[in-house]
Structure 1
Amino acid sequence: MKTFVISLKNSPRRERVKTLLGETNLKYQFFDAISTKSSIFHMHNRANPTKTFWRKGFILKDTEIACFASHYLLWQRCIALDEPIVIFEDNFELIEGAVLHTENAFSHINKYGYIKLSTTENINKPPIFHKIEDIDDLVGIGYYNQETAGTTAYIISPKVAKSLIDGASEFIDPVDNYMEKPWLHGVQTFAVFPNVFYRANIPSEIGKRKDKSNRFILARISKEIYRTYELLKRKLTWHK
């Protein structure tokens, strides 16, 4: 079970990860995240600020583009290895027994393709979980009736990695939003319940998202039209 932790090369978060995972038997390696401060900002040209603005009413921050690129490169690694992998961001916390639950979920990855080990839910409209099967006495696998944010921890198969890459010729959405849009790449999102990892209460390295300060009336109209379009696409494709 190859496991990668996305982390900026000199991030102090690495010591925190070493402490957390050092208390488990999980073998893992750090994957150097793409940095916006690098002289070569890898894959920055994949962003399309104009398209994002007219669809979303904001443009992606450089840190969001770098985050997307980091996950993209690990999807490429998954394909090159020709085996499923586990991907963590370095801002996770874990429940007791998280590694065992992850191993149990991992044994089902060829069936499901993409399994989230952590979800960030909309507290104003909590999603409903539909369990498909149990993987152990505590945790089940299934899917939510709506998207859940975050890419804190997940398992991915080479087949799904290729589908996500094929659909990402441009970076229009933040990566977590993109991954839960099956009409763009044909990938359905599955998840464990309850979460075995969760986002730690530490400052985000991405920073404030979705700067809408420059939105004007035409942009708002365009955004609402596209939002309606996506709601329809989601209804037609979400776990159908």
Structure 2
Amino acid sequence: MLDSLDIFIISLKNSSRRAYCQAMVENPPQNYYSLDFRFHIFDAIDKHSHYFSKDLGYTGFIENSYSPLKLKYSSWFLSGEGREILPEELGCYASHYFLWLKCITLNKPIVVLEDDAELLPNFYQSLIDCLNNPFDFVRLVTRLEKPENSAILGTKKRRNYANPNSEIVLNEYFYLTYMDIRTILAYYITPKAAQAFISASQLFTEPVDMFLLESHKHKIPCFTYVPMSVSWHSNHLDSSIVTPENVATICALQKKLKGLVRSCKVALWSRIANFRRWYYYRYFLKKTGEINCCSAKEQSSYSLPLGFFMH
């Protein structure tokens, strides 16, 4: 058993959220556990840093990790976005990438928080539960694209068993689904998952939250701890990515891509992405033995959910 657990808060040096993050490091929640929780600030990779700018000693990291030409063949690009990744999104991906490397170097699990994370009363307990279970990547908060589709997250009460075609809770606290989850606000990660993510990130072909949805790339099941132990702080609206300028840029790019051919491509790739997530959801359940422990009749019920191909 570990005697300490490192918690890294990703924060831009010049961000309005910096003081909030510093306060969390200096005055973390009171700890009643024997495990030492160590909070640190990790300086986020800024689009003005030497990783991007030749004038500041260009390192080649972003150039080697991101190719606009190869991006156009990625499933994220083809399934609807049809745009380049914003510099702020590349910086976000790079920040998480370097923390995955940190996890591998430390050779022990770590926790990663973004700078708009607000810790809930069960935060420490959720980390203890993560350490006591075999799962390698666990979100501490999640946001479904369509929460009404979840029998578990759509209510405030936990359920030990829902429709296994779509979602399930394992070991009482660990929620797994094939449905679309797009947040990396807070998570627990082991060196095994970190290595898998690094190996699958030779090129950045989507924002990092979308990368985690690509189970066919990294082969790591992405669980969510329930009840969630982190929430969004009120400062999350002050984003360095979702700025008026970036929103205008994205809207302008997407207006250029309208048309029947694009609509057909988007529909096709959305269905492919949906099928991939469902396939690996079943694959992960088989690995955990969850399907094998069911009766033959229950196993036969693991079929494509009703409305699966509806986007």
Give 3-state SS (helix, strand or coil) of 1:233's partner: helix
Structure 1 runs not aligned, ≥5 long? 135-139
Cα deviation, residue 61, structure 1: 0.9
Cα deviation, residue 148, structure 1: 1.5
Amino acid at match of 1:236: Y
Q: Deviations over 1:27-66 (max 9, x none)?
A: 2111111000124326322223342544432221111111
Match of 2:107 among 58, 82, 97: 82
Give 3-state SS (helix, strand or coil) of 2:138's partner: strand
Match of 1:120 in 2: 143
The root-mean-square deviation of aligned C-alpha atoms, in Å, is 2.2
Q: Deviations over 1:158-210 (max 9, x none)?
A: 11111111111111121111112211110111111121101223322212565
Runs of 4+ residues deviating >6 angstroms? none
Match of 1:49 among 68, 78, 93: 68
Alpha-carbon contact 1:180-1:188 (below 8 Å) kept: no
Give 3-state SS (helix, strand or coil) of 1:64's partner: helix
Determine whether 1:229 maps to 2:272. yes
Which stretch has the larger CA shift, 226-235 or 53-62? 53-62
Cα deviation, residue 4, structure 1: 0.7
Cα deviation, residue 18, structure 1: 3.2
Amino acid at match of 2:8: F
Paired residues in the alignment total 233
Cα distance between partner residues in 1 of 2:39 and 2:231: 18
Match of 1:175 in 2: 208
Cα deviation, residue 11, structure 1: 2.4
Match of 1:137 in 2: none
Q: Deviations over 1:7-34 (max 9, x none)?
A: 1123231211233451414421111110
Match of 2:239 among 199, 204, 210: 204
Cα distance between partner residues in 1 of 2:90 and 2:203: 10
Amino acid at match of 2:241: I
Determine whether 1:133 maps to 2:176. no
Q: Deviations over 1:106-164 (max 9, x none)?
A: 332xx110011011222464434422123xxxxx2221341322101101111111111
Amino acid at match of 2:62: H
Cα distance between partner residues in 2 of 1:184 and 1:128: 28
Give 3-state SS (helix, strand or coil) of 2:188's partner: strand
Cα distance between partner residues in 2 of 1:214 and 1:48: 21
Equivalences for 1:61-72 in 2 at 5 Å?
61-72=86-97
Structure 2 runs not aligned, ≥5 long? 32-36, 53-58, 153-167, 284-311
Determine whether 1:35 maps to 2:84. no
TM-score where L is the length of structure 1:
0.87
Which stretch has the larger CA shift, 210-219 or 69-78? 210-219
TM-score where L is the length of structure 2:
0.68
Alpha-carbon contact 1:57-1:223 (below 8 Å) kept: no
**CA distance change for structure 1 residues 14 and 188 in 2, over 3 Å: closer, same or farther?**
same
Match of 1:9 in 2: 13
Give 3-state SS (helix, strand or coil) of 1:27's partner: strand
Q: State which structure, 1 or 2, has the greater radius of gyration over its C-alpha atoms.
A: 2
Match of 2:281 in 1: 238
Cα distance between partner residues in 2 of 1:94 and 1:235: 31
Match of 1:153 in 2: 186
Cα distance between partner residues in 2 of 1:173 and 1:73: 17
**CA distance change for structure 1 residues 144 and 231 in 2, over 3 Å: closer, same or farther?**
closer
**CA distance change for structure 1 residues 127 and 149 in 2, over 3 Å: closer, same or farther?**
farther
Cα distance between partner residues in 2 of 1:128 and 1:237: 20
What percent identity do the matched residue pairs reach?
24
User: Bigger relative contact order, structure 1 or 2, given CA contacts below 8 A and separation 6+?
Assistant: 1
Alpha-carbon contact 1:188-1:239 (below 8 Å) kept: no
Cα distance between partner residues in 1 of 2:139 and 2:282: 15
Amino acid at match of 1:59: E
Match of 1:213 in 2: 255
